[in-house]
Amino acid sequence: MLRNRVLKESAGKAYLFEAPIEEKQDIHLVVRQGDEVVGTLLLHPVSNAFVQVKQVAIEPQTQGKSLGKNLMIYAEEIAERLGFSTIFLTGRKQAWGFYEKLAYQELPYEYQEDQLILKIFKKEIRQPLSRITTKEMKTNGRQ
């Protein structure tokens, strides 16, 4: 299983042999090449506005071919269509540059969990209604 090889093993965590029950309501996205899964990502709804990206894994032999970038862009499109305004994620140190290139903003602190150095990133994917000005409401968005 891709998640075990790419994520669990490198973090020194126990392997998964079936999908965790807490992921039942998550949106599971995969990238396939033929019959093989070479990329995976979960969208975990946290509230009506926020969704968390979790378990991003790309097969090491396919990295550098924009699969991860395209998977993240697709996840953002899905999240926006579902009505979420903000995506956030916890990124491993080796992936920080990847998320920054995708316009994710880092929160100003990092932390360590087991062997991993992590940082939280977020991205506004849709303008929340609270940011619409009175002028925009009166003019229906026209200037």
Q: How many helices (H) and strands (E) does the chain have?
A: 5, 6
Own/partner pairs for 140-143, CB < 8 Å, 24+ apart?
none
Q: Calculate the average pLDDT of the chain.
A: 81
Output helix, strand, coil percentages for the chain, rounded to the nearest 5.
Answer: 35, 35, 30
- All structural domains of the chain, each given as residue ranges with its CATH number in brackets, are 2-139 (3.40.630.30)
pLDDT bracket for residue 104 (50, 70, 90): very high
- Pairing outcome for strands 27-33 and 36-45: antiparallel
Beta bridge partners of 7: none
| Interval 28-80: pLDDT, tens | 898 888 888 788 899 999 999 999 999 888 887 877 888 889 999 999 999 99
| Interval 21-32: pLDDT, tens | 777 788 989 888
